């Protein structure tokens, strides 16, 4: 194998490993509320169009990587579509719950920039 083939193989493995935790978490939790439907649809459409280019290349690591992307993006889109028509898994907090409430932004002492307030035990903002 030449240097380009080794680099392609290593990068394929790294990209796949980087995406696997996201897919595994989605498969286990069935909670895809944080994903964008438009991003998933556009990503799948892009993968389908990109297939024309990949198929024009000689077989190599890019085929494996593209195949991985095709499969994982399709799985994510299917899970998203299924989860949109079902209730969220038991024990998953809802966005309206207090846990997700935004904290007030408070300015730094020198003014200008903002940061999130830290609340003490009494609920009073601490700087």
Residue 49: the pLDDT is 92
Low-confidence ranges of the chain (pLDDT < 50): 97-102, 104-106, 108, 113, 115, 119
Please give the model's pTM, rounded to 2 decimal places: 0.57
Is residue 77 within 8 Å of 44, Cβ to Cβ?
Answer: yes
Residue 100: the pLDDT is 47
Residue 101: the pLDDT is 47
Q: Which residues pair with 114 in a beta bridge?
A: 107
CA angle, residues 45, 47, 52, in degrees to nearest 5? 105
Residue 31: the pLDDT is 75
How far apart, in whole angstroms, are the C-alpha atoms of residue 23 and residue 30?
10
Instruction: For residue range 111-124, list pLDDT tens digits in order.
Output: 554 545 554 555 55
Q: What is the DSSP string of 105-125?
A: EEE-TTSSSEEE-EE-TTS-E
How far apart, in whole angstroms, are the C-alpha atoms of residue 12 and residue 62?
7
C-alpha closest to that of 65 among 2, 3, 20, 1: 20
Residue 89: the pLDDT is 56
Q: How many CB atoms lie within 10 A of CB 122?
A: 7
């Amino acid at each position: 194998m030449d240097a380009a083939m080794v680099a392609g193989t290593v990068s394929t493995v790294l990209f796949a490993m980087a995406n696997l935790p996201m897919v595994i978490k989605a498969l286990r939790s069935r909670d895809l509320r944080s994903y964008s439907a438009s991003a998933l649809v556009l990503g799948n459409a892009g993968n389908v169009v990109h297939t024309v280019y990949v198929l024009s290349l000689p077989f190599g690591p890019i085929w494996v990587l593209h195949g991985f992307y095709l499969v994982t993006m399709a799985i994510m889109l299917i899970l998203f579509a299924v989860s949109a028509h079902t209730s969220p898994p038991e024990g998953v907090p809802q966005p309206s719950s207090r846990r997700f409430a935004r904290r007030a932004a408070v300015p730094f002492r020198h003014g200008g920039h903002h940061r999130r307030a830290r609340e003490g035990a009494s609920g009073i903002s601490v700087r």
